Structure formats: structure tokens, C-alpha cells
């Protein structure tokens, strides 16, 4: 959907359901795709659109099993020191959407990129329940399961739907160690206005791919992503193999979740402005600011950066610049494991 940096209809559901790395078997407990049909193994390819391994960017993957439920959330982790940069992807993407930027952020902070419900390798009791309440509870449960009652300083970074999710979580004040929030290319006004086009956008996109390479090529040539390397890492995990059709299709069934879309974005601007933590809004174009945020920005209530020459998926299109913006935000706000500045990061001169 995010075909143009000036067309906000891409906003809502991370339109280009670009697939990401195909599921990989886990020799331990079964992962999200354990109940899915077996897929042909990914072939090592030297071709332009061949898949790239997530291991070149993240240090490890893991399954977070939520107690007293059948919900299993897949995560990718990188880095060993500093605050946790908790990455929440948009609708139709996966945690690997942050792969290229994670490989740089991990030099100064820890990165945890989560496959949300109904996406990537995560598996839940109801993959179609994408209500804002449910997915908020999911993220909080993952943090609780991973860190118990003493979580480290957390900076939530959310793209599109994931950005809306971050705002709702911050507004609920359910993460006591939340130290900062970065929202990537989602604004209430433009997102709500684009919802009427969403079903058409979803139905018009290519639905089936003969190979993962073809899906990667489609994401680039269709304009949903502009960085080939990022697409080669992220797209496979947004796909699932259709054994009946002998082809790949989109893992996230976004077209079946329309009842929840409006709940993602309603009230977003006020919630964003009222969140008590430092805030950064990254946009692909100034046309996306609504009136409430324009006033808030003029009043200095949050920092805003317009990232030029990029599409909707800023973190994928310009991962170097994105990583630098995240680390600068952490440094400027002196966010660290105990609220102290991270060693090695210098505060920018004012």
C-alpha cells in the first residue's frame, strides 16, 4: 500500500505486506509456523532479489511464550548493553522490517523486534484479533514475560500501525520503564482519511508469488520498498506458503481485520501529545501532519524530523539515517539502563 511518499493511503496497514524471511525451523519447541504446511527450503541465491539471512543483522531469534495462553511471539534480538529499543512493525510487515537499522543501533543499545499477532512467525489463539486492546496487551505481556518486574529502560519505536500501538501503550502507562517513544510515519488525520481506500488497496496488490524472489522483486518494483537489501531480509517473513496453490501469499490477513482499523488511529494525536515521555515523530512528508500535531509541534511538545527521499517504510528505505536518528534521540534524552547517558554516545551540541 505504501506506494508513494505523498500518498497516505499507504499509512494504515503497512500496505505492501512485503514478506520477510521465510520461516526457519527451530530444533527446540515449535515456532509460529509449526502448524503451517511445510514450505520448500529457501535456496541460497546470488540473484538480485534473492533472500538475505536475518543473522547478518540480528544476533538471535527467540520465541516468547505467554503464560496461561497458547500465544507465542517471535522476536529478534541484537546488542547486549544500553536501553532496549522495542521495535513494533506496521500491518503486513514483520520484526525484520527493522533488520538493517538494528545492525547499527545494537552498537549502542539493545534491540528487540517483535512479530506482532497475525504476523511473521508469531502464533496466537486468534491471529485475526487485531483490536488495539488485544495487541497492546500482547506487547505488555511480552515485556513482562521477558523482563519480569524489573524491565530495563525501554524506547518504543513503532512504524505505522506499530506507531499507533506504541502511542496507545504509552497512554495506558502500563510500561513503568518506558523512557521514550519514536513514531514512524503515522498521523491520526491522514490515517483515518485513508481507511476508506484500504480494502481496495489490499485487494489490488499482487496476491500470489511463484517464489520468494518474485515477492521481493514485486515489493521493489511496486514501490512499497526502496531498499533492495532490506526487502531481501524482510519480505520472506511476511509470506506464507500456500500448499494447495503451490505458491506464496501474504501471511497477514489484513483484509479480514477491518473492524479494528479505526480503533488503531482514533484519538492518536491527543494521546501522543499527552504521553509524558520524550517523543520523536519521523515523517516521510510534511503533508502528513494534522492540525493537532501541527499546533503541538509549534509548542515544542515533541521533536519532529521529516526524512526526505523515502517512502512509507522509513526504517527500511534509509536504515543508516534511521539508526542515527534513534541513537541521537537516545543520547539527547540521556536514556540508559538506569536513566543515565549511554557510554560512547555524545550529547549533540545545542
Residue the block writes with cell 543499545: 109
Q: How far apart are the first and last CA of the chain?
A: 38
Q: From CA 22, how far away is CA 41, in angstroms rounded?
A: 9
Burial state string for 88-126 with b = 16 or more CB within 10 A and e = fewer than 16 = bbbbbbbbbbbbbbbbbbbebbbbbbbbbbbbbbbbbee
Helices (H), the chain: 99-105, 132-147, 161-172, 188-204, 212-221, 228-234, 258-265, 268-274, 291-298, 314-317, 319-332
Q: Facing residues of 87 across strands?
A: 113, 157
Q: Give catalytic residue positions.
A: 160, 185, 312
56 with 69: CB under 8 angstroms? no
Which contiguous run of DSSP H or E holds residue 283?
A: strand 279-283
Contact of 123 with 134, CB cutoff 8 Å: no
9 neighbors 197 (Cβ within 8 angstroms): yes
**H helices within 75-131, ranges in order?**
99-105
Question: Among 160, 162, 157, which residue's Cα sits nearest to residue 181?
Answer: 157
Report how far residue 80's alpha carbon sits from residue 142's, in angstroms, rounded to the nearest whole number: 18
Q: DSSP 3-state assignment of 58?
A: coil
Q: Are 254 and 13 in contact (CB under 8 A)?
A: yes
Q: What are the residues whose beta carbons fall under 8 Å from the beta carbon of 114, sequence distance 6 or more?
A: 73, 74, 75, 86, 87, 88, 89, 95, 122, 139, 142
Written as nine digits, the cell of 276 is 509524558
Amino acid at each position: 500500500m505504501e506506494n508513494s511518499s505523498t500518498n497516505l493511503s499507504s499509512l494504515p496497514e503497512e500496505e505492501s505486506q512485503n514478506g520477510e524471511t521465510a520461516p526457519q525451523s527451530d530444533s527446540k519447541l515449535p515456532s509460529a509456523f509449526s502448524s503451517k504446511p511445510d514450505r520448500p527450503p529457501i535456496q541460497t541465491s546470488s540473484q538480485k532479489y534473492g533472500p538475505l539471512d536475518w543473522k547478518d543483522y540480528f544476533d538471535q531469534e527467540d520465541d516468547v511464550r505467554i503464560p496461561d495462553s497458547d500465544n507465542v511471539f517471535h522476536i529478534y534480538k541484537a546488542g547486549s548493553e544500553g536501553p532496549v529499543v522495542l521495535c513494533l512493525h506496521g500491518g503486513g510487515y514483520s520484526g525484520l522490517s527493522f533488520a538493517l537499522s538494528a545492525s547499527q543501533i545494537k552498537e549502542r543499545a539493545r534491540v528487540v523486534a517483535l512479530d506482532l499477532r497475525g504476523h511473521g512467525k508469531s502464533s496466537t489463539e486468534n491471529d485475526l484479533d487485531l483490536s488495539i486492546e488485544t495487541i497492546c496487551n500482547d506487547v505488555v505481556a511480552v515485556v513482562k514475560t521477558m523482563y519480569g518486574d524489573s524491565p530495563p529502560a525501554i524506547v518504543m519505536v513503532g512504524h505505522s500501525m506499530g506507531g499507533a500501538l506504541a502511542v496507545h501503550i504509552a497512554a495506558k502507562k502500563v510500561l513503568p520503564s518506558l523512557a521514550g517513544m519514536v513514531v514512524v510515519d503515522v498521523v491520526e488525520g491522514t490515517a483515518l482519511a485513508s481507511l476508506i481506500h484500504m480494502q481496495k488497496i489490499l485487494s489490488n496488490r499482487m496476491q500470489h508469488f511463484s517464489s520468494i524472489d518474485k515477492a521481493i522483486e514485486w515489493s521493489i518494483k511496486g514501490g512499497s520498498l526502496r531498499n533492495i537489501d532490506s526487502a531481501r531480509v524482510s519480505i520472506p517473513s511476511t509470506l506464507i506458503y500456500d500448499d494447495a496453490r503451490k505458491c506464496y501469499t501474504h501471511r497477514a490477513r489484513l483484509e479480514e481485520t477491518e473492524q479494528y482499523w479505526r480503533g488503531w488511529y482514533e484519538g492518536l494525536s491527543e494521546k501522543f501529545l499527552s504521553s509524558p515521555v520524550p517523543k520523536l515523530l519521523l515523517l516521510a512528508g510534511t503533508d502528513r501532519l494534522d492540525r493537532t500535531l501541527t499546533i503541538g509541534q509549534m509548542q515544542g511538545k515533541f521533536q519532529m524530523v521529516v526524512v526526505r527521499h523515502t517512502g512509507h517504510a522509513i526504517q527500511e528505505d534509509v536504515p543508516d539515517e534511521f539508526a542515527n536518528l534513534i541513537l541521537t534521540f537516545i543520547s539527547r534524552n540521556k536514556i540508559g539502563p538506569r536513566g543515565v547517558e549511554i557510554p560512547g554516545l555524545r550529547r549533540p551540541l545545542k
